[in-house]
């Protein structure tokens, strides 16, 4: 399931091979889009927005067509793969929803949850319902940042009876929080996920904490560095939200070489490469590598304790059965 930082990472990865390039070939394998002809169109921009990745396309010279946006939502398993033009297929054909080719590269959109093509001037038809994007640089201080925060709080508390653990996942409240940041923000804020959002003592602080956690996991666009996701880089600070300050922590990796294989969560695909989250077990990793920081406080802690208090972690399904993100981990000791 994607988190907002996954989309920023994907954009960082795709921008160097797509931005400014003209598509030599495009094949959209979604029935509604099967007749779209995008060869000759140029990728003007590659931008993340919430959990969407937007490729803004300009038509070939002389075309009367309006600029369009190819928007993909990764949902559970979706990913964009970059290969050379002559490379063998990097994903099984039945998984591929989009093939884009430039002069140098072939990009495969595999297992995309949604793929849409809309006039760029009408992106709001697709994205207009989204709340403020927590990774929008405009959150940085100033009056505009304050307005974004106020709007996020207004949306968060608009239905005060709703459990905070569900409201945080609602992309129409704020965009970018997936299950990891839902679980981890609530743990750090000490909030029971079932608590009505209207009773949360510091709603602006909760959104600020979630934003800071997301932001700390966005690697620099360049140069390319390994940047595994973690939420445990925090320290006590009475002036911060919930008495905490999120730090951008040293990931413990030297700068990666271009082409180092990481997925969009920053996890090295090469399992032999050392790292705090080289496996998928989250908290299990530190037992094998005690010198390294745990990746998460509670998220995914199936058989390991809360990273904050050492007590047992509660797992439950919390959300609609149709929701990809209904798995909830939380600590009954830390979260009241």
Binding site for Zn ion (CB under 5 A): 306, 308-309, 311, 331, 333-334
Q: How far is the CB of 298 from Zn ion (least distance, A)?
A: 7
**φ and ψ at 92, to 5 degrees?**
-60, 140
Catalytic residue among 51, 132, 193, 325: 51
Cβ proximity to Zn ion: between 111 and 333 the closer is 333
Residue in 3, 101, 116, 184 annotated catalytic: 3
The least distance separating Zn ion from the CB of residue 230, rounded to whole angstroms, comes to: 17
The DSSP secondary-structure symbol of 6 reads H
Provide, rounded to whole angstroms, the least separation between the CB of residue 116 and Zn ion. Answer: 41
Report the C-alpha gap between 307 and 280 in whole angstroms. 16
Whether 51 sits among the annotated catalytic residues: the reply is yes
Residue 313 CB, nearest approach to Zn ion (Å): 8
Annotation says 287 is catalytic: no
For residue 126, what are its two tokens? 């697709």
Region of residue 266 (left: phi > 0; alpha: psi -120 to 50; beta: else): left
Phi, psi at residue 56, to the nearest 5°? -90, 125
For residues 72 and 98, is the Cβ–Cβ distance under 8 A? Answer: yes
Task: Identify whether the C-beta of residue 127 lies closer than 8 Å to the C-beta of residue 50.
Answer: yes
Nearer to Zn ion, 55 or 234 (CB): 234
Q: Between residues 224 and 297, which has the closer beta carbon with respect to Zn ion?
A: 297
Q: Where are the beta strands (DSSP E) in 136-223?
A: none
The reply to whether 241 belongs to the active site is no
Class of residue 274 by CB neighbours under 10 A (exposed 0-12, middle 13-18, buried 19+): exposed
Catalytically annotated residue among 2, 48, 132, 276:
2
- Comparing CB distances to Zn ion, the nearer of 19 and 309 is 309
Catalytic machinery residues? 2-3, 51
């Amino acid at each position: 399931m994607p988190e907002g930082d996954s989309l920023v990472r994907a954009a960082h990865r795709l921008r160097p091979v797509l931005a400014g390039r003209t598509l030599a070939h495009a094949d959209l394998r979604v029935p509604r889009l099967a007749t779209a002809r995008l060869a000759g169109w140029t990728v003007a921009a590659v931008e993340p927005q919430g959990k969407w990745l937007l490729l803004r396309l300009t038509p070939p010279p002389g075309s009367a067509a309006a600029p369009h946006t190819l928007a993909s939502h990764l949902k559970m398993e979706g990913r964009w793969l970059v290969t050379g033009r002559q490379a063998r297929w990097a994903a099984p054909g039945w998984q591929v929803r989009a093939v884009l080719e430039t002069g140098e590269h072939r990009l495969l959109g595999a297992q995309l949850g949604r793929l849409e093509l809309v006039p760029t001037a009408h992106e709001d038809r697709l994205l207009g319902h989204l709340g403020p994007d927590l990774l929008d640089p405009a959150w940085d201080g100033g009056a505009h940042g304050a307005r974004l925060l106020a709007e996020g709080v207004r949306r968060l508390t608009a239905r005060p009876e709703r459990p905070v653990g569900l409201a945080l996942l609602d992309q129409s409240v704020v965009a970018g929080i997936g299950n990891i940041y839902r679980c981890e923000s609530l743990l750090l804020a000490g909030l029971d996920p079932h608590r009505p959002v209207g009773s949360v003592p510091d709603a602006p602080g909760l959104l600020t904490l979630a934003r800071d956690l997301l932001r700390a996991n966005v690697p620099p666009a360049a140069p390319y560095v390994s940047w595994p996701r973690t939420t445990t880089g925090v320290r006590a600070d009475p002036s911060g939200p919930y008495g905490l300050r999120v730090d951008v922590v040293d990931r413990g990796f030297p700068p990666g070489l271009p082409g180092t294989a990481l997925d969009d969560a920053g996890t090295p695909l090469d399992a032999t490469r050392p790292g705090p989250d080289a496996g998928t077990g989250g908290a299990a990793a530190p037992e094998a590598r005690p010198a390294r920081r745990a990746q998460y406080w509670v998220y995914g802690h199936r058989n390991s304790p809360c990273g904050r208090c050492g007590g047992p972690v509660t797992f439950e399904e919390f959300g609609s059965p149709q929701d990809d993100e209904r798995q909830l981990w939380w600590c009954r000791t830390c979260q009241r």
